[in-house]
């Protein structure tokens, strides 16, 4: 799947699920009309990247454990066309524009003025540009093409549905397409490039979002493992009786991952890396620790899922203890202060009084085990019992995110309680947490009553009219309609 070429399409068929295609074709038309109006010439292409919902497996991608996301049908579109001078980005949603001066090669580091202190949508566009410049124009002496771009997005930002990854992927695709480089990469290359590009904005992300946005196919959630290398497996959706679906509910608390990175996302990345190092004296991830601890046989490119499950079951009881101060943590690693700073703090800034290495480790290992069980139940049977089991795993995942990884917040906890009360089989936060969305497993025929019940009980929804409510609470089937196709050639 990672070796496949990046697809290009000339029609919308198959990109969206049937019920959404009509709304979307009007949106695409509006985007091209607006492009022509604003720039005075037609768009030649539209590049598209979807957001994703993570069904289970939170904060374990950067420890290299497998996760279970699915693309959603909300996406970022960038209409584009070449121009003869510098590039210009405009946004349909924000009514803002930015000019990217054409950088003149050769340079060691392109200067694109990415603002890492505040959440700015255009930073993610610039991050995509940076990666393309670096890979294709660094030493070639060639000039990149100037581009006009008009961006339109339906993935709410700061909601845990990966609007940032969708923006980076769409922008990377735009710069590749306009510079005729798309055919030189496969899907796997694009995932690696998008992950590196997004890190330039200031968050040390794992790889789940970009992989889900690029590799998803309709009607299939993905099990993505990162060790020993990126390996996505499509998990077919079995039809169940009664039929179930996933409902996404936005807490309407924005999770500002970038601005709060020091005390939240980046701190968790450091805590999990340092926790993995204890006793081993090298920079290593929890997945690699488990591999050594269980004497996993190397040599194969794919994970032995059964052996991994057994190893996780054995290592979990070994992890216990309380938080450590910075000095205690450095002492536990056996490193000198300056070596520790070089290895763990030279690339990231964090803020904490106590570093909760053991709680984080316990979350990582138990969550990794839950992902494997979720995968097994999704594959094995369509019975009601097995769906109850999926729901139970989602509930446990939320409790672990709340109590051990401490990435929930009162709004998400409340939505989860309300979802359970409204009949969900399972409910949990999705994405980085600290705000954003929950995902709940619900019987399909009960979705309208489920949504009505949450609407009545969750105070931030009180003032919303029906149209606005559809943007914040909606049902989705894993992979349904999001597709893996991104570049639309010769549009319309
Ligand atoms: P969000 O903030 O939901 O896009 C982030 C990371 C993921 C993963 C999840 C937690 C980025 C781009 N994405 O997702 O890689 O670690 O948190 O599971 O930082």
Residue 191: give its domain's CATH number: 3.30.230.10
> Is 209 an annotated catalytic residue?
yes
Same domain? 401 vs 449 = yes
Strands 244-250, 437-443: pairing kind: antiparallel
Instruction: State the Cα–Cα distance between residues 372 and 370, nearest whole angstrom.
Output: 5
Query: How far, rounded to the nearest angstrom, does the alpha carbon of residue 171 sit from its chain's CA centroid?
Result: 16
Q: What's the domain count of the chain?
A: 2
pLDDT of residue 491: 42
Q: How far is the CA of 342 from the centre of ligand 1 (A)?
A: 25
Q: Tell me the pLDDT tens digit for each residue of 78-125.
A: 999 998 777 777 877 766 666 666 555 444 445 566 666 666 788 888
| Peptide linkage before 228 cis (omega within 30 of 0) | yes
Token digits for 478?
């894993």
Give the closest residue to 31 by CA, choosing from 87, 76, 84. Answer: 76
Q: How far is the CA of 82 from the centre of ligand 1 (A)?
A: 32
Q: Tell me the pLDDT tens digit for each residue of 396-410.
A: 999 999 999 999 999
Token digits for 167?
């923006």
Report whether pLDDT(210) > 80: yes
pLDDT of residue 303: 76
Q: What is the CA angle 132-136-139, rounded to 5?
A: 130
Any domain includes 1: no
Instruction: State the Cα–Cα distance between residues 324 and 245, nearest whole angstrom.
Output: 42
pLDDT of residue 485: 42
pLDDT bin (cut points 50, 70, 90) of residue 242 is confident
Residue 398, ligand 1, Cβ within 6 A? no
pLDDT of residue 106: 41
Nearest ligand 1 atom, CA 57: 18
pLDDT of residue 378: 83
Same domain? 211 vs 304 = no
Q: Tell me the pLDDT tens digit for each residue of 217-236.
A: 877 889 999 998 888 888 87
Any domain includes 234: no
pLDDT of residue 490: 42
Q: Tell me the pLDDT tens digit for each residue of 395-449.
A: 999 999 999 999 999 999 999 999 999 999 999 999 999 999 999 999 999 999 9
Same domain? 218 vs 300 = no
pLDDT bin (cut points 50, 70, 90) of residue 263 is confident
Q: What is the pLDDT averaged over residues 29-39?
A: 92
Nearest ligand 1 atom, CA 206: 15
Any domain includes 235: no
Position with higher pLDDT, 465 vs 236: 465
Nearest ligand 1 atom, CA 161: 3
Same domain? 331 vs 410 = yes
Same domain? 36 vs 181 = yes
Report whether pLDDT(482) > 50: no
Residue 442 contacts residue 450 (beta carbons within 8 Å): yes
Q: Best of 432, 433, 434, 439 to mutate for ligand 1, by most ligand atoms within 8 A of CB?
A: 432
The residues with which 98 forms a beta bridge, in sequence order, are 89
Instruction: State the Cα–Cα distance between residues 72 and 221, nearest whole angstrom.
Output: 10
Q: What Cα–Cα distance (Å) separates residue 138 from each residue in 107, 134, 135, 466?
A: 7, 5, 6, 50
pLDDT of residue 49: 92
Residue 125 contacts residue 112 (beta carbons within 8 Å): no
pLDDT of residue 359: 93
CATH number at residue 383: 3.30.70.890
Residue 370, ligand 1, Cβ within 6 A? no
Same domain? 264 vs 374 = yes
Q: Which residue has the tokens 């289970």?
A: 56
Report whether pLDDT(335) > 80: yes
pLDDT bin (cut points 50, 70, 90) of residue 483 is very low
Q: How far is the CA of 69 from the centre of ligand 1 (A)?
A: 11
The residue whose CA is least distant from atom 11 of ligand 1 is 205
Helix (H, G, I), strand (E, B) or coil at 67: strand
Instruction: State the Cα–Cα distance between residues 451 and 469, nearest whole angstrom.
Output: 9
Give the closest residue to 211 by CA, choosing from 198, 199, 195, 197. Answer: 195
> Which of 216-220, 255-259, 263-267, 304-308 has the lowest average pLDDT?
255-259
Q: Which of 61, 73, 75, 209 is catalytic?
A: 209
Give the closest residue to 88 by CA, choosing from 34, 133, 45, 126. Answer: 126
Residue 428, ligand 1, Cβ within 6 A? no
The residue whose CA is least distant from atom 19 of ligand 1 is 205
pLDDT of residue 424: 97
Report residue 330: phi and psi, to 5°: -65, -40
pLDDT of residue 33: 93
Report residue 153: phi and psi, to 5°: -130, 145
Instruction: State the Cα–Cα distance between residues 284 and 263, nearest whole angstrom.
Output: 22
Q: How far is the CA of 432 from the centre of ligand 1 (A)?
A: 5
Q: How far is the CA of 323 from the centre of ligand 1 (A)?
A: 24
The residue whose CA is least distant from atom 17 of ligand 1 is 432
Residue 59, ligand 1, Cβ within 6 A? yes
Report whether pLDDT(366) > 50: yes
Give the closest residue to 215 by CA, choosing from 223, 203, 205, 227. Answer: 223
Same domain? 323 vs 451 = yes
| Helix and strand counts by DSSP (H, E) for the chain | 15, 15
Position with higher pLDDT, 4 vs 486: 4
Any domain includes 428: yes
The residues with which 99 forms a beta bridge, in sequence order, are 88
Position with higher pLDDT, 486 vs 45: 45
pLDDT of residue 15: 76
DSSP string, 342-373: IIIISS-----SEE-HHHHHHHHHHHHHHHHH
Position with higher pLDDT, 390 vs 319: 390
Same domain? 189 vs 102 = yes
Q: How far is the CA of 463 from the centre of ligand 1 (A)?
A: 30
Report whether pLDDT(298) > 50: yes
Q: Best of 199, 209, 226, 271 to mutate for ligand 1, by most ligand atoms within 8 A of CB?
A: 209
pLDDT of residue 382: 65
Same domain? 223 vs 281 = no
Query: Model's pTM, two decimal places?
Result: 0.86
Q: How far is the CA of 384 from the centre of ligand 1 (A)?
A: 31
Same domain? 213 vs 281 = no
The residue whose CA is least distant from atom 2 of ligand 1 is 432
Residue 98 contacts residue 91 (beta carbons within 8 Å): no
Q: Could you give the dihedral angle defined by the CA atoms of residues 167, 233, 471 and 172, in that order, rounded to the nearest 10 degrees?
A: 10
Token digits for 278?
């204890």
Instruction: State the Cα–Cα distance between residues 397 and 475, nearest whole angstrom.
Output: 20
Residue 431, ligand 1, Cβ within 6 A? yes
pLDDT of residue 300: 61
pLDDT bin (cut points 50, 70, 90) of residue 332 is confident
Any domain includes 26: yes
The residue whose CA is least distant from atom 5 of ligand 1 is 432
Residue 367, ligand 1, Cβ within 6 A? no
pLDDT of residue 95: 61
Any domain includes 439: yes
The residues with which 427 forms a beta bridge, in sequence order, are 440
Give the closest residue to 375 by CA, choosing from 234, 228, 191. Answer: 234
pLDDT bin (cut points 50, 70, 90) of residue 299 is low
pLDDT of residue 99: 67
Same domain? 454 vs 390 = yes
Any domain includes 449: yes
Longest dimension (CA), the chain: 65
Same domain? 347 vs 391 = yes
Nearest ligand 1 atom, CA 165: 12
Report whether pLDDT(273) > 80: yes
How big, in percent rounded to 5, are the helix, strand and coil portions of the chain? 45, 20, 40
pLDDT of residue 73: 82
Give the closest residue to 438 by CA, choosing from 462, 459, 454, 457. Answer: 454
pLDDT of residue 52: 94
Report whether pLDDT(138) > 60: yes
Q: What is the pLDDT averaged over residues 64-91?
A: 87
Q: How far is the CA of 280 from the centre of ligand 1 (A)?
A: 27
Q: Print the domain residue range for 208.
A: 8-229+479-486
Q: Which residue has the tokens 């693309």?
A: 71
Q: Name the percent of the chain lying above pLDDT 90.
A: 45
Instruction: State the Cα–Cα distance between residues 150 and 189, nearest whole angstrom.
Output: 25
Q: Best of 72, 400, 431 to mutate for ligand 1, by most ligand atoms within 8 A of CB?
A: 431
Instruction: State the Cα–Cα distance between residues 422 and 427, nearest whole angstrom.
Output: 11
Report whether pLDDT(315) > 50: yes
């Amino acid at each position: 799947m990672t070796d496949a070429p990046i697809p290009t399409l000339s029609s919308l068929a198959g990109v969206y699920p049937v019920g959404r295609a009509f709304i979307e074709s009007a949106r695409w038309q509006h985007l091209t009309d607006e492009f022509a109006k604003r720039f005075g010439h037609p768009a030649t292409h539209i590049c598209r990247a979807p957001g994703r919902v993570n069904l289970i497996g939170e904060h374990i991608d950067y420890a290299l454990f497998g996760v279970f996301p699915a693309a959603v049908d909300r996406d970022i579109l960038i209409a584009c066309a070449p121009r003869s001078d510098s590039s210009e980005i405009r946004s349909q949603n924000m009514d803002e524009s930015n000019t990217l001066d054409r950088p003149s090669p050769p340079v060691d580091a392109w200067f694109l003025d990415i603002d890492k202190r505040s959440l700015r949508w255009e930073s993610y566009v610039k991050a995509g540009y940076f990666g393309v410049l670096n890979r294709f124009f660094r030493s070639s002496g060639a000039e990149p093409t100037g581009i006009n771009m008009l961006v339109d997005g339906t993935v709410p930002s700061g909601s845990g549905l990966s609007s940032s990854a969708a923006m980076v992927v769409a922008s990377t695709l735009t710069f590749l397409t306009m510079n005729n480089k798309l055919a030189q990469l496969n899907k796997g290359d694009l995932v690696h490039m998008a992950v590196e590009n997004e890190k330039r904005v200031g968050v040390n992300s794992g790889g789940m979002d970009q992989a889900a946005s690029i590799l998803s196919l309709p009607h299939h959630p993905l099990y993505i493992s990162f060790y020993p290398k990126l390996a996505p497996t499509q998990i077919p959706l079995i039809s169940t009786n009664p039929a179930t679906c996933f409902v996404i509910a936005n807490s309407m608390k924005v999770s500002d991952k970038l601005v709060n990175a020091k005390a939240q996302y980046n701190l968790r990345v450091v805590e999990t890396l340092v926790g993995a190092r204890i006793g081993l004296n090298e920079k290593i991830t929890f997945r690699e620790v488990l591999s050594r601890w269980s004497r996993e046989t190397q040599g194969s490119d794919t994970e032995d899922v059964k052996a991994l499950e057994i190893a996780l079951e054995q290592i979990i009881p070994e992890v216990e203890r309380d938080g450590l101060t910075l000095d205690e943590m450095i002492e536990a690693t056996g490193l000198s202060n300056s070596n520790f700073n070089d290895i763990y703090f030279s690339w990231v800034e964090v803020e904490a009084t106590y570093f909760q290495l053991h709680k984080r480790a316990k979350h990582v290992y138990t969550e990794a085990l839950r992902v494997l069980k979720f995968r097994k139940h999704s594959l094995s049977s369509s019975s009601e019992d097995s769906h109850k089991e999926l729901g139970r795993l989602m509930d446990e995942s939320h409790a672990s995110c709340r109590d051990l990884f401490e990435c929930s917040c009162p709004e998400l906890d409340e939505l989860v309680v309300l979802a359970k009360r409204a009949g969900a089989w399972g409910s949990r936060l999705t994405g980085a947490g600290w705000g954003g969305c929950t995902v709940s497993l619900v019987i399909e025929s009960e979705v309208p009553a489920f949504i009505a019940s949450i609407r009545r009980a969750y105070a931030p929804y009180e003032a919303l009219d029906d149209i606005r409510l559809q943007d914040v609470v909606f049902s989705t089937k894993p992979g349904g309609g999001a597709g893996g196709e991104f570049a639309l050639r010769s549009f319309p």
